[in-house]
Amino acid sequence: MTTGAALADLAALLADRTRAQFCLALLDGRAWTAGELAALAGVAPSTASEHLGRLVAGGLLVERRQGRHRYVQLAAPEVAQLLEDLGAHAAPRGAEPVGLRAVATTAALAWGRTCYDHLAGRLGVAITSALGERGLLDLTGGFALTTDGMAWFRAELGFVPVPSRRPVARACLDWTERRSHLAGQAGAHLRSRMQHNGWIAGRGDGRAVRLTPSGTRALSDLLGVTLPTAATPT
């Protein structure tokens, strides 16, 4: 059973803005160097190293060393779920982004992004809704692939679930759309296949993704989803 002290310790890990910024950056699913994270947060390498040590010791991150470089990444999909859920419940603070670049970045993330290893944002929610409307995903009694859904994922995407503690399908509350998108093994495989097939492409080094023309056609043919290929800042 989780104790109050253990919960307080976990909350303390994310109560620092620099550590929280590190964790949000790592939601892209990649391994980052300590130097890259230090530059992102605008802190000294020694400060970044201290924060990363606390996150690793607290079980939120894992690290590996390759030559002189120290790489860190989220410890497990469950950590990504925790961060995304907290982001969904966090109240917006501060002013709206100012400047074309900041507005464009915010719009791109809201339109489509990776949430660790699956798709989030308007793109992820639209795909999830289409799966539900076609009876492929049960959205009423908890997220679960239906019999037709399992057959569809296998036939169209080559998905075969593996024995794992990770569920086949899981709801992940989207912090920008305030609705759930598909996570779990099926969500991860969907993102992987879309990337492998060239249906989505990254936007720089961040988490934002866009649909390619072939992706637009594929989503329309497979699920009847019609979306622009990328976000338009407003």
Interval 12-55: pLDDT, tens? 999 999 999 999 888 877 889 999 999 989 999 999 999 999 99
Quote the DSSP letter at residue 162: -
The pLDDT, as a whole number, for residue 189 is 97
Residue type, 162: V
The pLDDT, as a whole number, for residue 101 is 59
Dist CA 227 CA 188 (whole Å): 21
The pLDDT, as a whole number, for residue 7 is 86
* Residue ranges covered by each domain of the chain: 4-75, 87-223
pLDDT digits (tens, 9 = 90+) for 76-92: 888 888 887 787 776 55
The pLDDT, as a whole number, for residue 95 is 47
Exposure string over 191-213, b if 16+ CB within 10 A, otherwise e: bebbbeeebbeebeeebbbbbbe
The pLDDT, as a whole number, for residue 233 is 46
Dist CA 14 CA 83 (whole Å): 9
pLDDT digits (tens, 9 = 90+) for 138-147: 988 778 999 9
Examine the pLDDT at 188 and tell me if it is beyond 90: yes
Q: Report which of residues 84 and 160 the model is more confident about.
A: 160
**What is the torsional sign of CA 101, 194, 34, 23?**
positive
pLDDT digits (tens, 9 = 90+) for 105-150: 778 888 999 888 899 999 999 999 999 999 999 988 778 999 999 9
Place of tokens 């949430």: 115
The pLDDT, as a whole number, for residue 202 is 84
Q: Give the CATH class of 4-75.
A: mainly alpha
The pLDDT, as a whole number, for residue 68 is 78
Q: Per-residue pLDDT averaged across 172-197, rounded? A: 91
Share the mean pLDDT of the chain: 86
Q: Are 117 and 192 in contact (CB under 8 A)?
A: yes
The pLDDT, as a whole number, for residue 234 is 44
